[in-house]
Structures are given as structure tokens and as C-alpha cells.
Chains A and B, each alone.
Chain A
């Protein structure tokens, strides 16, 4: 029962996210994409709410947290078009095949990430029981390996679901993974369709589901931060690539980028690269600054919180020495992991359409972000004395970010 309630708590987040349907750009996309974007928005909203309550010393209860969530959902639902669009059923069915395999993978404990057991789950559970972001728990020196300053989005989302279920659910946490996979494929399809055509959007959405679904399985990300991270990343990149000149897309991207930065440490690098790419593509400094504003405010407040409680660790690691002498082997090992044990098919499938395209300019933003995140991955690895175990353990997960950017780039560039 607690597992079902925990999953219900996660799925409920679609409801407050309906507030994003008030944006005309979102209101125009198909219902599956709207629900997917609402889910991502709901996760961002509940995180922000718990985060603000933490600093305002407002207790986390079903009433204090649930009431504003319901109010936002009711506001978003007013006058909403709930008509089901039956087009794209084949692509939906194919996407659901990969989602179903992921559900099977998590329900039979085939995709569980060790990080769920070691820190994401314990932090979410502790935040729930403490009713706050427990700085004493995070900063306990013997818990160093739980990473003091990892950003709080996933533990806060888990704390919300724990609030609904009255306790943390390890199985429920695993279900975040297939839900995020489904949401990212539908969100991408809906955001891409107006710009590249429905047929192309459907094909590339299936490719996205195939790459990410398989990537989740081989990279073992069940219950870890990669599923929500990639969901927010794909929404941000798709919004800026396919509708970057529209105000609504900029608002959506700003929300998604803020969520990216609060999900994983490397999210900060992703955001920085995306903001630079958007500045290059749009050549609008003020607009770019506005897109980056929520990130600066939220990530800045998190780093300040960590600094005040003496928790800073990962965010200060770039100050350590870089081992350029390891570059060649680091690159080789990373490229080896990038094969995903399937002959680099994900890369070939995304780069081949780009190679035959004559409209690369349209995919400049995701290409810059793909190249930048690939480079930042190597940059992080080169700061370790002995990164080989780290590369083996993480490369297949972190390389999903440039891969999903390449899917967006291919879709945008295709003829």
C-alpha cells in the first residue's frame, strides 16, 4: 500500500504542473505532451515549494504542501482542452514498448542504481522525517560519501511522495524512472511537432525512447537522479531549439534549466553551456539573462546554504588540479563506455541524419550543448587522480545528456 501511495504521490505532480497549460505554447501541443510537461512542471513546483518552506520554517504537511499544489492544478485546468488526439498512435505504442520494458526492469530489480540505496533514498527519507533539508544529517562528517552538497531536487521530490505515503518507499522511488522516460518522449514529440512536422517528431521521439530506455537499463539509473535530470534537459533543449524565439518557450526553458541545476552537480555545467549556446544562437543578451535568472537565484541560494552549513564539496572541486597527462587514456576509456555495448548505435543513429542534412544551422544550439557537455564530462574526469573506476561506473549515464541533445539536433536538422 505504501508503495502504491508513494507512486500516486509522484503521479499526482501532474496536477499542479497543469498550471503550465496556461502558457499558449503548451496549450497548443497534444495532450500527451501537455501531461508530460505538466509532470515535469509539477516536480519542479513541489521542489520549489518544499525548498521555500524549508527556509521560511513552514512545516511540511499534506495540508500546507498539498493545498497550494491543488490550487495551482485547479487554476491550470480552468478552460483546458482535454480532447485526446488519436494521431501518432504507432509512435506512442513504440514508445510504450520501451517504457514497459523499463517498468519490467525496475519491478524485477534489474535497473536499480546503487546511488538510490547509498544517498538519494536516505536523503529523501531523512528530509521527510526531519520535515526540512536536514543540514546536520548532510554535514555529518562520517557521511562524507553521501555527498554533502549534491543538489536537493530528487530528495525533495521523494520527500513529497513520502509525505503522501507517510513513509519512504524504495520500490516507489524506482518508478520515477519509467515515468520520466515516458514524459521525456512525449514532451519532446509535442515540442518538436510544430517546428519539424508531426511525422518527423514521432520518428525521433521513438528514437529518443529507444536510446534513453536502453541507456537507463545499461547505465543502471533506477531511482537515481538521471531520469529527472534528462527529462528537464530534454524539455529545456527542445523548447529553446524548436521555439527559442517565443516567450513561452523561454519561460518553459527557464523552469526546466532551474530544475536541471537543482538535480545534479553536472546540471550546473549543462545550464552554463546551454545559456552560452542560447546567447550565441539568439544574440539577445537580455532574453538570455532572463532565461538564466531562476537558475542563478536557486542554485545560488543552494550554494549559499551549503556554504553557511559548511557543506561545500563538489561545487568547489574544479579548483583541484587537472591531470592533462591522463587525457588520452581518459578519452579512450570514455569512448569505450560510449559504445554502450552495442557498437555506438545510439551515436550513429543520431549523427547519421545530421551528416546527410543541409540544415545544420537549425540544430546549432543542441549541437553546441552536446559538444559542451561531452567536453565537460571529460573535464570532470580529468580532475580525478585515478578516474578509471569512475568512468566505468558513470560514463554510460552522463553521456546520455549529449546523446539526447543529438536527438534534438537531428530532428531539428532533418530535411
Chain B
């Protein structure tokens, strides 16, 4: 037989954990009964660092040729920025392309080494070798001119 004291401890702990669990889910923000657009929509009270990329990349995917070299980042002052979350997110979202780090689209990169496409999350990207191909609320697609 499970002792009464054991049952009390387990019941109390289960109840506390149940309340804490519900509270944890609640504090991650509403809406509570709607399907979400991305898998990170409610992971915290603030917008997740990868959310824009997760919305943007499926829109851009059909515009990219298979095997294209791509960089994905949020530019800072128009320039490339080593942006790990968007870089790694793009690797998973663009399985048919070769995703490269942002410095493959820097001003110092030799023209032959520049990536074919740059996906600039949220902010515009400025580089003399690239021109804009498509624009979405969450970012822009640029193509290199060779």
C-alpha cells in the first residue's frame, strides 16, 4: 500500500505542477485557441528571433533555383551581419539551396565568391553587386549581378 503521507506528497506536487503548467502555457501569450503561422509564435511573450525568417523563407523558396548559393541575415545599416539564428533557420527552410554565412555577401568578398542570392530579413540590404528581386512585409530577396 502506498502510505497516506506519500499520496499526500504526490497529490500536492501534481496539483502544484498542473497549476504551474497551465500558468506557463497561459503566460506565453494569446490568442489561445487559434492555429499559429509558425512553430515559434508563442515560445515567449516577445517575438522570437526567427519568426520573420520562418514566415519569409517559405514565400521566397519558390523563387530560388535549386542549388543556388544563398545568404540569409538581418542587415545592420544596410550591410551584411553575421546573424546566427536567421542563418541556421535558412539552412532548415531552404533544403534545395546551399545556405552560406552572411560574410559571403560582404563588400570585401571577391565578386566570384559572392552568393547568388541574399535574403535580407526585415531591413534593406545595400551592396553594389546586388539588386532587389522581390519584396515582402518580412524582408527582401536580392540577386547578384555578375
User: Residues of A with Cβ closer than 8 Å to B?
Assistant: 94, 97-98, 101, 104-105, 107-112, 114, 116-119, 121-122, 125-126, 129, 142-143, 145-146, 168, 170-171, 174, 197, 199-200, 203-204, 206-207, 210-211, 213-214, 217-218, 220, 222-223, 340-342, 345-346, 348-349, 352-353, 356, 414-415
Contacts and interface: CB of A to CB of B under 8 A. Distances in A.
A353 B6 contact: yes
B20 to A, nearest CB: 5
A223 to B, nearest CB: 8
Contacts of A211: 13, 17
Contact of A346 (B2, B17, B38): B17
A111 B20 CA distance: 14
A101 B21 contact: yes
Contact of A125 (B22, B33, B41, B95): B95
Contacts of B33: 108
B46 interface: no
A415 B17 contact: no
Q: Is the interface of A mostly helix, strand, loop or mixed?
A: helix
A171 B38 CA distance: 9
A342 B32 contact: no
A143 B88 CA distance: 8
Residue of B10, B34, B100 ringed by the most chain A CB atoms within 10 A: B10
Contact of B40 (A94, A101, A109, A214): A109
A94 B18 CA distance: 10
B20 A341 contact: yes
A117 B92 contact: yes
B39 A112 contact: yes
Interface in B93-111: 95, 100-101
Contact of B6 (A203, A206, A218): A203
A352 B9 contact: yes
Contact of B13 (A129, A171, A345): A345
B6 A346 contact: no
B77 interface: no
Contacts of A220: 43
For the complex of A and B, list the 3 residue pairs with the smallest distance between their C-beta atoms, beginning with the closest: A349-B13, A122-B92, A210-B17
A145 B14 CA distance: 38
A104 B25 contact: yes
A101 B22 contact: yes
B89 interface: yes
B28 interface: yes
B113 interface: no
Q: Is the interface of B mostly helix, strand, loop or mixed?
A: helix
16 contacts: A104-B25, A108-B25, A108-B41, A109-B42, A110-B42, A117-B88, A122-B91, A125-B95, A126-B95, A129-B95, A146-B91, A200-B1, A206-B10, A210-B21, A356-B5, A356-B6
B7 interface: yes
A118 B18 contact: no
A207 B32 CA distance: 26
B39 A174 contact: yes
A353 B12 CA distance: 13
B2 A203 contact: yes
A210 B13 contact: yes
Interface in B74-100: 84-85, 88-89, 91-92, 95, 100
B3 A414 contact: yes
B25 A342 contact: no
Contacts of A204: 10
Given A105-B25, A108-B25, A143-B91, 17 more contacts: A101-B21, A109-B41, A109-B42, A111-B43, A117-B50, A118-B88, A118-B92, A125-B95, A170-B39, A197-B1, A206-B14, A210-B17, A220-B43, A223-B39, A349-B9, A349-B10, A414-B3
B127 interface: no
Contacts of A199: 1-2
Contacts of A213: 17, 21
B24 interface: yes
Contact of A98 (B13, B21, B24, B54): B21
A97 B22 CA distance: 11
Interface string B38-70: 111111000000100010000000000000000
Contact of A214 (B9, B20, B38, B39): B20
Given A105-B25, A142-B100, A119 B13 contact: no
A112 B39 CA distance: 6
Contacts of A356: 3, 5-6
Contacts of B34: 108
Contacts of B10: 203-204, 206-207, 349, 353
B9 to A, nearest CB: 5
A136 B5 CA distance: 57
B43 A414 contact: no
A349 B17 CA distance: 10
B16 interface: yes
Nearest to A340: B20
B14 A210 contact: yes
B20 A342 contact: yes
A214 B21 contact: yes
